[in-house]
Chains A and B, each alone.
Chain A
Amino acid sequence: MMHYLESELVDLIKTNGSIFDFIGDTVLDGVWYWNLEKPEDEWMNKRFWINLGYDPATMPHASSSWQRLIFPEDLIQSKNLLQAHLADPHVSYDLTVRYRHFRGTVSWIRFRGTAIRNEAGKPIRMLGIHTDITELMDKNSILDACNSAADIGYWDLDIVSGKLYWSEVTRRIHEVPNDFEPNVEQAIQFYVEGESREKISAAVEQSILDGMGYDLKLQIKTFNGEKKWVRSLGKADLHEGRPVRMYGTFQNITKSQKAEEHLNEMLQVYEKQNDRLKNFSYIVAHNLRTHAGNIKSLLDLQSSNPEAIEVSEMLRLLRSTSGNLLETIDNLTDVAMMNATVGDELIEVRLFDVAESIINTLNLNNTDNYSFVNKIEKEVKVKAIPAYIDSILLNLLSNAQKYRKLSQPGEVVISSFEDQNFVEIQITDNGQGIDMERNRHKLFGMYRTFHRHPEARGLGLFITKNQVEAIGGEIFVDSVLNEGTTFKLKFKK
C-alpha cells in the first residue's frame, strides 16, 4: 500500500514538469534517456553537460556526444555491461567511468541505469543517471599515494560477518598473491611466533573487550617468508557493549627499524673507540710522564745535590728508567697499530687445534704439572683473524698458569658451546682469582695488574679485549678471590 504522500508525489511529477527538473538538477549529476532501437538518439538533461563543464546548448542529443568524452577503455567496459544487463535484468547496470572534463581534468562518474522493456520483454529504452564522485576519488588517490609512500596500509574487520578487508598496501606489506583472501586467524598467524604473536593476540582481545586502541611495534613473517618490522594500530567499535567492527593501520617500519639498529651499532663502535682513546691518552699522560719524570728528578738531584745518590747507583737508575720509557713507547705503538688493522678479513679458525698447539707450547715450560684440559668440540669453527685467536688463547691460558695457587694442583678447563650465531668458549681455572668487587671496572684496562708477580705488565687482558672486540666478539669474566676465574668468550660463527 502506497503512502498517500508517495502517491501524491507520483501524481505531481506527472502533472508538474518542474518537480522532475528539480530532482534531476539537484539530486543527480545528470540524467539520460536512450532509444535502444535507434541508438544515435539519446536525450541528456542540462545538468549532465553542466557537470562536465559544457554548454548544453552546444551539445546535440546524440549518444556520440558523450561517447567522444568518455575514456575509450571505460566505454568498452560500459558497453559490455550494457549487453549483460540487457540480456539479463538481474545484472545491475552500475559502474564508475572516467570522462574528460571541459577543463581537461578527469571526472569520475558513477553510472547507474535500468532498461525499459516492451510487453514482449524486449529492451527498447535505457534510463540512466550520473553521480559525480570525482572529489571522493581525488581524495582517495591522494590518500593512496600517501599510504603507498609511507608504506602504511589499513584493514577493516566486520566482526558480525567475519569479513576482513586488507587495503592494497596492507596486502603488499604481507606480500600476498592477488587471489589471497585474508581472515582473522591467518592475519594473526603472519605475526612471528612468540612475543609478536602473543602481544597482538592479547591486544586484539583487550580491544574487543573495552573498545580501546592499541599501537604496537611487532615483527611479521610475510607470505614469501621474509621478516619485517611493522607498526600495527587497531581499535574495536562497540555497540551496546558488543564488538561490531575492528579497524586499524599497518605500517612497514623495517627500514627505520634497521636504520635505528644500525645507528645503535655505530654508536657502540664509537663509544668503544672513544673509551680506547681516553685510555690511550690516560696512558700517555700517566705512564710516559712517570718515566720522563723519573729521569728529570734524577738529573735534577745530580746537579743540585750530587751527594744525594751515588753516581753508579744514579746511572743504574737512569738506565732502567730509560729502558722502561722505551718499553712503554713500544707498547703504545703496538696498541695503536692493533686498532688500525681491524679491517683484516675474517677466516674460519678451528678452535680445538689452536688450543691444542698452545697447550703443547705451554707444556714445554710446565715444570710443576699444571694440567690443561681441552674440551672444545673438535668441529667448532669461528670467524676470526687467526693471529688474534692465537694471541687471545695464549694470553688467557698462560695467565691461568701464571696466577695458579701454589697450594694445590693447578687445572684449567677449556670448553665450547654453540648457538645459531655464536660460539662461546669458557676458560675456567682454579687459581688465585681476582677481587671482582674492587677490580671489575679496571680488569681490562691498560697497565692494570692484580697480583704481585714479577712478569705482570698490565697489558695482557687489555690487548686480549681489544683483539676479541676487533673480530666482533665479546669477553666476560667472573672470578672469586682464592677460588678461581672463568673467562667467557663469544665469537661469530
Chain B
Amino acid sequence: MIKKSICIIDDDPTNVLITKALLNLIDSQGFMLTYSDGKEAYDGLMNLCKNDEALPEVYFLDINMPIWDGWDFLDEVAKLNSQKPVSIFVLSSSNNPEDAARALTYNNVKGYLVKPVTLEVLKKEFDQI
C-alpha cells in the first residue's frame, strides 16, 4: 500500500488520539499533521504552501470546532480554487443526514464518516483513494 501524508483537524484531543491509533494500525500514513480548529489548519497549510513544502494528501476534518468550524474550512479551501486535488473525509459525531448531504456537495470531500469510526470502515475508505 502506498503511504499517504495525513492531516487531522479536530478540537477533541481524545478523538485525535483515536484517529491516530487507527491510522497507525492501517500503517498507511507518511507524515502526519494535526490542527485543533479550521482556522489554525488553514493558516498552517497556507504557510506550507508559501514555503513550498509538501501538503498532506488525506484530511480528516471534524465539523463542530471553535473559530472556524469544518464548514468554514471547506468554504475557504473551495475559494482557493486549487488545481491540486485533495481528499477530505469529514469525520463528525453528527449522524444527521442533512450534514452528510451537505458535506458531499464539496468537490474535495470524498466521504462522510460518523464517529465512532471503526478500523474496518477506515481501511475500506483508504483503499478507495
Contacts and interface: CB of A to CB of B under 8 A. Distances in A.
Interface of A: 282, 285-287, 289-290, 293-294, 296-298, 300-301, 304-305, 308-309, 317, 320-321, 438, 442, 447-452, 456, 458
A293 B17 contact: no
Given A309-B17, A451-B66, A452-B66, A293 B25 contact: no
A299 to B, nearest CB: 10
Given A309-B21, A450-B66, A286 B94 contact: yes
A452 B18 contact: no
Contacts of B93: 285-287, 289-290, 293
Q: Among the interface residues A289, A448, A458, which one has the most CB atoms of the partner chain B within 10 A? A: A289
A284 to B, nearest CB: 11
Contacts of A296: 116
Interface of B: 12, 14-15, 17-18, 21-22, 24-25, 36-37, 40, 64, 66-69, 72, 92-96, 115-119
A308 B68 contact: no
B17 to A, nearest CB: 7
Contacts of B116: 293-294, 296-297, 300
Contact of A285 (B12, B72, B96, B117): B96
Contacts of A305: 21, 25, 119
Contacts of A308: 21-22, 24-25
A460 to B, nearest CB: 13
A290 B15 contact: yes
A340 B95 CA distance: 28
B14 A447 contact: no
Contacts of B36: 452
Contacts of B94: 282, 285-286, 289
A282 to B, nearest CB: 7
Contact of A297 (B18, B37, B40, B95): B18
Given A289-B95, A301-B21, A452 B15 contact: no
A452 B67 contact: yes
A317 B64 CA distance: 20
Contacts of B92: 286
Q: B interface, by DSSP: helix, strand, loop or mixed?
A: loop
Nearest to B24: A308
B72 A438 contact: yes
B6 to A, nearest CB: 16
B18 to A, nearest CB: 5
A277 to B, nearest CB: 14
B95 A285 contact: yes
Contacts of B12: 290, 294
Given A286-B64, A305-B25, A449-B66, A298 B115 contact: no
Contact of B115 (A289, A442, A450): A289
B14 A294 contact: yes
Nearest to B63: A286
A447 B63 CA distance: 12
A317 B16 CA distance: 11
Contact of A317 (B14, B37, B40): B14
28 contacts: A282-B94, A285-B93, A285-B94, A285-B96, A286-B93, A289-B93, A289-B94, A290-B12, A290-B15, A290-B115, A293-B116, A294-B12, A297-B115, A297-B116, A297-B117, A298-B18, A301-B21, A305-B25, A308-B22, A308-B24, A438-B68, A449-B66, A449-B67, A450-B67, A452-B36, A452-B40, A452-B66, A456-B66
Contacts of A287: 93
A442 to B, nearest CB: 8
A458 B68 CA distance: 14
B64 A447 contact: yes
A451 B18 CA distance: 25
Nearest to A316: B14
A403 to B, nearest CB: 12
Contacts of A320: 14
Contacts of A448: 66
A289 B37 CA distance: 20
Nearest to B94: A286
A282 B92 CA distance: 13
Contacts of A442: 69
Contacts of A458: 66
A46 to B, nearest CB: 89
A304 B66 contact: no
A317 to B, nearest CB: 5
A328 to B, nearest CB: 11
A293 B18 CA distance: 10
A285 B93 CA distance: 8
Given A296-B116, A305-B119, A451-B66, 16 more contacts: A286-B93, A286-B96, A287-B93, A289-B93, A289-B115, A290-B115, A294-B116, A297-B18, A297-B117, A297-B118, A298-B14, A300-B119, A301-B18, A305-B21, A448-B66, A452-B66
Contacts of B25: 305, 308
B93 to A, nearest CB: 4
Given A290-B12, A294-B12, A296-B116, A301 B96 contact: no
A442 B68 CA distance: 11
Top 10 A-B pairs, shortest CB-CB distance = A293-B116, A449-B66, A290-B93, A297-B116, A289-B93, A293-B115, A308-B21, A297-B18, A294-B14, A286-B94
A157 to B, nearest CB: 61
A317 B17 CA distance: 9
A360 to B, nearest CB: 31
Contacts of A294: 12, 14-15, 18, 115-116
A289 B119 CA distance: 18
Nearest to A320: B14
